[in-house]
Chain A
Amino acid sequence: MVRLADLPEWEREHLLSKQLPPLGPLQWVSNTKPMSEKRVALITTAGLHFRDDQAFEFADASFRAIPGDENADNLVMSHSSANFDRSGFQEDVNLVFPLDRFKELASDGVIGSLADIHYSFMGAGLLPELYEGSVRGLAGMLKKDRVDAVFLTPV
């Protein structure tokens, strides 16, 4: 559905306004482990958190931690954009944050293991540069958790 040619002109213009140049030189990490040995973390920009976490502000570059042993069905969303469907997330959290799918992959031995903690940002409005501080801190935590690969989902 999100083929720009299929969208009204104002929507096409909005999405094209998000086109930004690369943040810097290409960062490329070569593959050194088979998938069955990789430890994987999930990161979403869907503005997810648990009810007792602080909800996301109108514009907010911080992130929320989502422990892998928590029930993802208890996640709620405080994303600032009104411009995407939420009914799918309401029906099935895995549509946006596929934690159960990755637990199945770990259980089946397709991936080596899942990280102890996963993360959510709220990807609305702010330019990417403003997330740099949060992301650098997060990268350090992923290293401590011995994460090999991150699976990124937008919303």
Chain B
Amino acid sequence: MTTGISLVRENAESLRPPRTLWVSFPLGRPLGKPGDSAFQHAVIEHALDLLERDQGPVLEDFPLDAPAVSVEQAPACPISFARPMQDDGSWTARLRNELLEMKPWYDLGRRRRGRTTVGVSNSSIDEIVQKLASWLDDRESPFPDLKWFKYAIEDAKAYYTEALTAQPGDYPPELVFRQLWHESGLGAALRAYYQYFRAHTELQLFARIVAPREAIGGATGEEVIHTPIDKTSAPDKH
């Protein structure tokens, strides 16, 4: 028997799994609030209670929203995203300078949490940033391997957000989102990659892994794949 959480009530209504607890929390946060074990236990307890029901399907609403966290109460952003004087206007200089600012905060965050979620790509953050910037500066150079690209941008985003949230405190997801996607050079670089993916028919399917719909302001391409694919190379020329 199963019980579980749904983040989108309408999808659960339609698919009708046997036992589901709908929660009003943001996508990515099915248990509500990081570091709040009492709140997480309340969600789990409600979902486990559904196992006791003798008729279904059961779709219930968790009665609480996630504890509110205001942008004003979040720790100040430790990074200045203003471009320094020595910036020569290249992506390479912009991202390299930005990464220098990020590093001490990433290290602080890793020490505070005792963990990091960076490490999917097996590349160093310096290599990732250098490769991402390098192709944007020279689009005649070979496009990065797509499989590497997927894991590299996952690591880059994780590195940045762990740095931006290094200080103890509560961070609303929308604040981290704004800093990453609308203030940082990495966000601008990934949006540039997104535009490239969208402009090339053979790459459009991959655009949605590059930038979120909310950063682009709309749909990010084909939403459902009907057969498994393994497309790991992109054209050298464009």
Contact = CB atoms under 8 A, between A and B. Distances in A.
Contact of A154 (B6, B35, B147, B150): B6
Contacts of A61: 228
Contacts of B217: 10
A26 B27 contact: no
A19 B11 contact: yes
Interface string B130-161: 00000000000000001100110010011001
B229 A88 contact: no
Contact of A151 (B47, B54, B230): B47
Nearest to A111: B48
Given A29-B18, A102-B44, A151-B47, A59 B229 contact: yes
A64 to B, nearest CB: 12
B84 interface: no
A146 interface: no
Contacts of A30: 54
Interface size class of A (residues with CB under 8 A): 35 or more
A86 B17 CA distance: 26
A67 interface: no
Interface string B82-94: 0000000000000
A101 B120 CA distance: 25
Contact of B51 (A20, A35, A81, A102): A35
- Max chain A CB contacts within 10 Å: which of B44, B55, B161, B211? B44
A17 B223 contact: yes
Contact of B210 (A2, A27, A31, A82): A82
Contact of A21 (B15, B26, B164): B15
B115 A94 contact: no
A101 B173 contact: no
A132 interface: no
Given A19-B10, A19-B14, A88-B28, A150 B158 contact: no
B100 interface: no
